[in-house]
Amino acid sequence: MKSLAVLIRESGAPLPYAISRPLEIVEIDLAPPAPGEVLVRIEAAGICHSDLSVLNGTRQRPLPIIGGHESAGVVIDLGADVRNLKIGDHVTSVFLPSCGLCHECTSGIPAYCSVGAASNARGEMIGGGSRISLDGKPVNHYNGVSCYSQYAVLDERSLIKIPDDIPLDVAALFGCALLTGIGAVRNSAKAQPGQSLGVWGLGGVGLSALLGAVIAKASPIFAIDPVASKRDLALSLGADYALDPSENLRDHLPAGVAVAVEAAGRADTLKAAYEATARGGITVTVGLPRAEEMLSISALSLVAEMKTIKGSYLGSANPRVDIPEFVDFWRAGNLPVERLLTSTSPMSQVNETMDALQGAQVVRQVIHPHE
């Protein structure tokens, strides 16, 4: 079938993207879903920093590629042998499919599925190959999702069914921002009630980490970002202190924080988070710095202060367990995801949304492929 979609032909276009327009709306051909795959009508797709990183070349993905990896929609067709979904189901996508069979999956850490990671790196479906073509030539999938499109073929292992009453603009954020941010606090750091906690970088993932810290009853909670409006939002979402990066967290808490979450994706921010981590504390990093960035810390402090540094991908999550839990938190009023939504726009505005994300003034923008 035909679908309008957002193509990245090459990376590294000059800013602003509203002028250079590197994201092209094209009409793709979608092959029917193969066994285990479904066709989804995409209703909402999030603008995440990793999309920007593919666009500016920070993160290497095979090009040309259809962008987008955070979305929600409705299942409208099924391939053969689909076991867990039916037509009409509302779904949210997860940007790393879990095969369920590899060593990592069977060890209970599907966030590290080696089969899904390999197919993502190749730009293919986890079942192999591409279902997208343009002018008769195959186009790559982005993390098995490619949701900047009116319709998308996804493996059922890339989808989680959600209840019908959740607004799809909200549900779109579950599969990346929330899994990554909340997962960093709950799964990676295992933050406990009463533990002090800091979040560096208040984008969609960082503010999700903050919401996770509130749910975990961490206290006090620090939120650190150079943008004043984001600090204000953090305070209204439950942070006890909101600091500019030029301020010293230890002026407020001399011992430092027991849990530090770095969500800015910069080595210097990770260094600041590590240095603000208390003796015996843990620094968890979820941001994706440029490949050439190196981290420089006091090697002695790691041992003498018995600190831990931990990387967290996909929030070390098990999406089939974590996302239904987010739904429960949201329904109980404890996960105000709506507050992270800065704006919604038609898909034709996708270049402008990337400029806004680059400018760092926005938290999460969502695009609507059918508008």
Nearer to Zn ion, 154 or 176 (CB): 176
Between CA 149 and CA 66 the distance in angstroms is 8
Q: 37: which 2 tokens?
A: 């795959």
Nearer to Zn ion, 207 or 253 (CB): 207
**Pattern 63-102, binding to Zn ion, x per CB under 5 A?**
------------------------------------x--x
Task: Tell me which residue has tokens 């999309």.
Answer: 51
Tell me which DSSP letter residue 16 carries: P
Stretch that binds Zn ion, among 74-82, 168-176, 231-239, 335-343 (CB under 5 A): 168-176
Q: Quote the least distance from Cβ 183 to Zn ion, whole Å.
A: 12
**Pattern 240-259, binding to Zn ion, x per CB under 5 A?**
--------------------
Q: Quote the least distance from Cβ 137 to Zn ion, whole Å.
A: 27
Nearer to Zn ion, 48 or 243 (CB): 48
Between CA 205 and CA 283 the distance in angstroms is 16
Are 3 and 149 in contact by the 8 Å Cβ rule? The answer is yes
Report how many residues bind Zn ion under the rule CB under 5 A.
8
Angle at 339 between CA 331 and CA 367, to 5 degrees: 100
**Pattern 99-118, binding to Zn ion, x per CB under 5 A?**
x--x--x-------x-x---
Angle at 193 between CA 192 and CA 196, to 5 degrees: 80
Q: Quote the least distance from Cβ 263 to Zn ion, whole Å.
A: 11
Alpha helix stretches (DSSP H) within 155-227: 168-171, 177-183, 204-215
The answer to whether 260 contacts Zn ion (rule: CB under 5 A) is no
Q: Quote the least distance from Cβ 99 to Zn ion, whole Å.
A: 3
Say if strands 151-155 and 37-47 run parallel, antiparallel, or are unpaired.
antiparallel
Helices vs strands, H then E, count in the chain = 12, 18
Of 263, 340, 333, 265, the C-alpha closest to 70 is: 340
Phi, psi angles (nearest 5°) of residue 157: -75, -5
Q: Quote the least distance from Cβ 176 to Zn ion, whole Å.
A: 3
Nearer to Zn ion, 50 or 277 (CB): 50
Q: Return the C-alpha torsion angle 137, 140, 141, 146, nearest 10.
A: -70
Q: Quote the least distance from Cβ 292 to Zn ion, whole Å.
A: 21
Q: Is the dihedral of CA 110, 178, 249, 272 positive or negative?
A: positive
Nearer to Zn ion, 113 or 224 (CB): 113
Of 152, 176, 189, 323, the one binding Zn ion by CB under 5 A: 176
**Pattern 267-306, binding to Zn ion, x per CB under 5 A?**
----------------------------------------
Q: Quote the least distance from Cβ 94 to Zn ion, whole Å.
A: 10
Between CA 207 and CA 201 the distance in angstroms is 8
Nearer to Zn ion, 72 or 243 (CB): 72
Of residues 32-51, those binding Zn ion (CB under 5 A): 48, 50
Nearer to Zn ion, 46 or 369 (CB): 46
Nearer to Zn ion, 203 or 256 (CB): 203
Contacts of 240 (CB under 8 A, 6+ apart): 219, 220, 221, 222
Between CA 316 and CA 75 the distance in angstroms is 27
Give the interface with Zn ion as residue ranges (CB under 5 A): 48, 50, 99, 102, 105, 113, 115, 176
